[in-house]
Amino acid sequence: MGEKKKSAKAKKEKAKEAKAKKEPEEEPKKEAKQEEAKAVEPKKEAKAVEGAKAAESKEAAEGEAPSLIKGEECPICHNKTLTLTESMTDIPFFGKTYLFSMNCSSCGYHKADVEADESKEPCKYTLDIDSEEDMKIRVVKSSNATVKIPHVGSIEPGEASNGYITNVEGVLQRMKKIIEVLRDDSEDDEDKKKAKNLLKKLLRVMWGQEKLKLIIEDPSGNSAIISEKVVKSKL
């Protein structure tokens, strides 16, 4: 991860953006209005992560075809327009994992979660991200998980928390969207500046130019960072 020439870097940025767009992730797409996240600094709660859907794109890539149940009653708007989706993915070094989601076509309500087929112990995963290659490392995040990126921010469990299967880049993209909301919504110049600096930092991490720690804690055990270099410990 050394220095990169300017033009090469610009090119790389383009390529990276394109790549981020088509990066396959398994979470169904409808979005929650509320996200469970906050950035450490600036400390205002993020209210929406509209854009995070871009990071967590579109399909249920592998595993069985998802099963759908349509026409259920929505817990929010009570229209019978809720679709339940369930699919299974076999994740190497983690096992069979079920993906559940609820999407309401009337009010946009969305809820998703993941659950491992076999029950797992509470866990904590710590990953030192230090190269572009690390962006591909697979991440399973359940709704019970707390995602911590020291000095950047965290994603907390709770009502609005979703579970998903993604990769390190997907997690960073989500954090990026959260901070973008802070940057855009903040009235305070100092907060805006902090947000901008954090966004720059995240981009450098995505390009392998800066290191970062990623920690996932999950009392349900249904989360994982799947890599040889991850440190797994008891929670």
Residues that bind Zn ion (CB under 5 A): 74, 76-77, 104, 106-107, 109
Q: Which is nearer to Zn ion, 74 or 165 (CB)?
A: 74
Query: Least CB distance from residue 74 to Zn ion, whole Å?
Result: 3
Calpha distance 235→224 (Å, rounded): 13
* Least Å from the CB of residue 167 to Zn ion: 30
The residue (of 104 and 116) whose beta carbon lies closer to Zn ion is 104
Calpha distance 138→100 (Å, rounded)? 18
DSSP assignment string, the chain:
-----HHHHHHHHHHHHHHHHH----S-----SS--EEESSS-SBP---TTHHHHS-S---SSSPPEEEEEEPPTTT--S-EEEEEEEEEETTTEEEEEEEEEETTT--EEEEEEESS----EEEEEEE-SGGGGG-EEEE-TT-EEEETTTEEE--STT---EEEEHHHHHHHHHHHHHHHHHH---HHHHHHHHHHHHHHHHHHTTSS-EEEEEEETTS--EEE-TTPEEEE-
Residue among 74 and 91 whose Cβ is closer to Zn ion:
74
Q: Which amino acid is at 74?
A: C
Q: What is the nearest approach in angstroms of Zn ion to the Cβ of residue 49?
A: 19
Report in angstroms how near the CB of residue 106 gets to Zn ion at its nearest.
4
Please identify, using beta-carbon distances, which residue of 76 and 215 lies nearer to Zn ion: 76
User: Between 74 and 212, whose beta carbon lies closer to Zn ion?
Assistant: 74
The residue among 107 and 160 lying less far from Zn ion, judged by its C-beta, is 107
